[in-house]
A and B are shown apart, each in its own frame.
Chain A
Amino acid sequence: MKSFKACLYCEILKLKRSGIFWITIVFFMVVPLMFGLMMFIAQKPELSAKLGLIGTKAKLFGTNDWKGYFSLLIQMVGTIGLIGFGFVTSWVFGSEYSNRTIKDMLALPISRTYIVIAKFTVILFWCLLLILILYLISFIMGLLLHLPGRQPELIYEFSKRFLNTTLLSLLLCTPVGFLASYSRGIIGPLGFVIVTLILAQFAGLTGLGPFFPWAIPGIYSVSQNAEGLSLVTASYFILLITSLSGFFGTILWWKNADQH
């Protein structure tokens, strides 16, 4: 436990001193502000007509109330989560290779397994912090916009689905950690995240979405409103197996692969 704490301390120190940490925080603050702005535009039809493309996009909200706003926020988490969490994971693992500091972590009186688990722990808390920021700012924006239809049941349902979508997206961080270690850098896993997003869209269109891990959080986020697009029990198993494979694959890679 002492060894794990030491690893965790080191990962937090590296994170605190990195510019990336603050950049992601700003990004996750700006995104809900933009959504709030679009909601504001959607509320004002006269502005919407003047603003062309932004106005057209703003109309996509559907109803200009808390229900419509929440529904869009949940869909956003499905996508922003995959990209944001993928980026965070790529950085935590990939920067050890791009900074060439990985060799300092390989012959220490501390198990490499602890180092990998500490990295995933930091990723978990970093991502949860980002999501919390996103949630709070989105909520504050909704309050400032005086959206109609705020009911406790609606907020509870939204918060539950928001959290669940986040957790499902978080499960997909582990394969990214493995790829960052396998490709020894940041670019490879980021490319992987983009490809999986494209494939997830394709899988959704062809009806294979519930069986494609990277489409599952997105389907979960919209499945209440989309006909014929719902997850089955196997979907959760597929997601879990993918996550566990990524987790143990990363540990095995760190322990057994040749580290140059």
Chain B
Amino acid sequence: MKDIIVTENLSKNYKDVAAVKEISLNVRKGEIYGFLGLNGAGKTTTIRMLLGMIKQSSGSAYINGIKVDSDNTDLWKNIGYLVEIPYSYPNLTVNENLEIVRRLRGLQKSSIDDIISKLQLNEYSNRLAKNLSLGNGQRLGLAKALIHNPEILILDEPANGLDPAGIYEIRALLTNMANSGSTIFISSHILGEISKFATRIGIIHNGSLIREFDANQLEMLCQKRLIVNTNNQKKALSVLVQNGFLFRPTEDDFLESENQEAIKHPDLISALLVNEGFPPTLLQVKEEDLESYFLRTIGMNGGEL
């Protein structure tokens, strides 16, 4: 598959501070690339470099095989973007704000009506931007990014301020776009959301890309544990260990194991405990989610299950 967004050792230094350190990533056509990181990890700086808003200290970025350069105006024709909180001209209506983008992008008049109905902004079209709620302001920002049906979307925290229904709509919209061949690069701190639709994930921490994987690899990468509870934990633990299953007691008095055999066949554990007279009152396979995996990857305690 064709690489649409490529960075090669992309770095940005501010005096002595290295905001982004030699990031090399590639986003393929039709992918939804989730770019995850804590605040200050370097997500927005990377996105700004991809959009030619700031110049890299070293390395390079390519979009559609063309080196990113703010002067190359043709490059931006097929790119839609949203950086951090979207702001609009406060004294202009939703329609007028979109009219500005339409003119600057040289689009047909109908593009405004199309995007307004796509993002369900119809009833707000004549409302001043300064009177919009946070969520509708975000929708307007997305409308500006999507008005030209871009082949490439670069979005920084697009779900900010949206309610759950809004997040669902945007997810569906972006998934549809990706299915139609658009490539989406999206940063977010709502990890559960990203895990629902990203096809590829990169984790940035302290300016470095520390992990990059396909979303379907997540299940393999995420740790699983079998949690067991009985009426006699001490004896149950002894039975399990004697039968070759390595379990350990947890702080909240459960028994847990990372033994792959036990995780794959909890029925065996259940049968063993029943036969030995310690029937389980709880038998649960706990799977790490993206959030826990992310926190574990960047070395934070919250990564524990």
* Residues of A participating in the B interface, judged by any CB pair closer than 8 Å: 2-3, 6-7, 9-10, 13-14, 17-19, 99-101, 103-112, 255-256, 258-260
Question: B96 contacts the other chain (Cβ, under 8 Å)?
Answer: yes
**Contact string, B56-85, partner A, CB cutoff 8 A, digits 1/0?**
000000000000001101101101010111
**B92 with A6: CB separation less than 8 A:** no
Contact of A9 among B53, B55, B85, B103 (CB under 8 A): B103
* 6 tightest A-B CB contacts, nearest first: A258-B54, A100-B87, A6-B103, A17-B91, A109-B77, A107-B51
Question: Please, which residues of chain A bring their CB within 8 A of the CB of B88?
Answer: 101
Can you give 30 A-B contacts (C-beta < 8 A)? A7-B104, A10-B100, A10-B103, A13-B100, A14-B91, A14-B92, A17-B92, A17-B96, A99-B90, A101-B87, A101-B88, A101-B89, A103-B83, A103-B84, A104-B101, A104-B144, A106-B52, A106-B53, A107-B51, A107-B79, A107-B81, A108-B105, A109-B73, A109-B74, A109-B105, A255-B70, A256-B70, A258-B55, A260-B48, A260-B53
Q: How many residues of B contact A (CB 8 A)?
A: 33
Q: How far is the CA of A76 from the CA of B48 in the complex (A)?
A: 46
Question: Please, which residues of chain A bring their CB within 8 A of the CB of B101?
Answer: 104
Q: Do A109 and B103 contact each other (CB < 8 Å), given the known contacts A99-B89, A259-B54, A260-B54?
A: no
Q: How far is the CA of A255 from the CA of B89 in the complex (A)?
A: 22
Question: B106 contacts the other chain (Cβ, under 8 Å)?
Answer: yes
Q: How far is the CB of A223 from chain B (nearest CB, A)?
A: 42
**A14 with B89: CB separation less than 8 A:** yes
Closest residue of chain A to B141 (Cβ to Cβ) is A104
Closest residue of chain A to B96 (Cβ to Cβ) is A13
Question: Please, which residues of chain A bring their CB within 8 A of the CB of B71?
Answer: 111, 255
**Contact string, B159-186, partner A, CB cutoff 8 A, digits 1/0?**
0000000000000000000000000000
Q: How far is the CA of A19 from the CA of B92 in the complex (A)?
A: 11
Q: How far is the CA of A14 from the CA of B76 in the complex (A)?
A: 23
Question: B99 contacts the other chain (Cβ, under 8 Å)?
Answer: yes
Question: Please, which residues of chain A bring their CB within 8 A of the CB of B91?
Answer: 14, 17-19
Q: How far is the CA of A192 from the CA of B106 in the complex (A)?
A: 37
Q: How far is the CA of A17 from the CA of B87 in the complex (A)?
A: 16
Question: Please, which residues of chain B bring their CB within 8 A of the CB of A259?
Answer: 48, 53-54
**A111 with B103: CB separation less than 8 A:** no
Main secondary structure of the interface of B (DSSP, over half): loop
Q: How far is the CA of A19 from the CA of B86 in the complex (A)?
A: 22
* Residues of B participating in the A interface, judged by any CB pair closer than 8 Å: 48, 51-55, 70-71, 73-74, 76-77, 79, 81, 83-92, 96, 99-101, 103-106, 144
Question: Please, which residues of chain B bring their CB within 8 A of the CB of A3?
Answer: 106
Q: How far is the CA of A13 from the CA of B89 in the complex (A)?
A: 10
Closest residue of chain B to A105 (Cβ to Cβ) is B104
Q: How far is the CA of A103 from the CA of B100 in the complex (A)?
A: 14
Q: How far is the CA of A9 from the CA of B85 in the complex (A)?
A: 26
Q: How far is the CA of A151 from the CA of B239 in the complex (A)?
A: 117
Question: Please, which residues of chain A bring their CB within 8 A of the CB of B85?
Answer: 100
Closest residue of chain A to B100 (Cβ to Cβ) is A10
Question: Please, which residues of chain A bring their CB within 8 A of the CB of B106?
Answer: 2-3, 6, 109
**B104 with A108: CB separation less than 8 A:** yes
Question: Please, which residues of chain B bring their CB within 8 A of the CB of A14?
Answer: 89, 91-92, 100
**A111 with B52: CB separation less than 8 A:** no
Q: How far is the CA of A159 from the CA of B89 in the complex (A)?
A: 38
Question: Please, which residues of chain B bring their CB within 8 A of the CB of A110?
Answer: 73, 104-105
Q: Do A106 and B70 contact each other (CB < 8 Å), given the known contacts A6-B104, A19-B91, A259-B53?
A: yes
Question: Please, which residues of chain B bring their CB within 8 A of the CB of A6?
Answer: 103-104, 106
Question: Please, which residues of chain A bring their CB within 8 A of the CB of B83?
Answer: 103
Q: Point out which of A6, A14, A109, A256 has the most chain B C-beta atoms below 10 A from its C-beta.
A: A109
Closest residue of chain A to B101 (Cβ to Cβ) is A104
Question: Please, which residues of chain A bring their CB within 8 A of the CB of B81?
Answer: 107
Q: Do A99 and B99 contact each other (CB < 8 Å), given the known contacts A106-B53, A111-B73, A260-B48?
A: no
Question: Please, which residues of chain A bring their CB within 8 A of the CB of B51?
Answer: 106-107
Q: How far is the CB of A49 from chain B (nearest CB, A)?
A: 48
**B87 with A108: CB separation less than 8 A:** no
**B53 with A258: CB separation less than 8 A:** yes
**B55 with A256: CB separation less than 8 A:** yes
Q: How far is the CA of A23 from the CA of B104 in the complex (A)?
A: 28
Question: Please, which residues of chain B bring their CB within 8 A of the CB of A106?
Answer: 51-53, 70
**A107 with B53: CB separation less than 8 A:** yes
Question: Please, which residues of chain B bring their CB within 8 A of the CB of A107?
Answer: 51-53, 70, 76, 79, 81
Q: How far is the CA of A14 from the CA of B100 in the complex (A)?
A: 9
Question: Please, which residues of chain A bring their CB within 8 A of the CB of B73?
Answer: 108-111
Contact of A108 among B48, B54, B76, B90 (CB under 8 A): B76
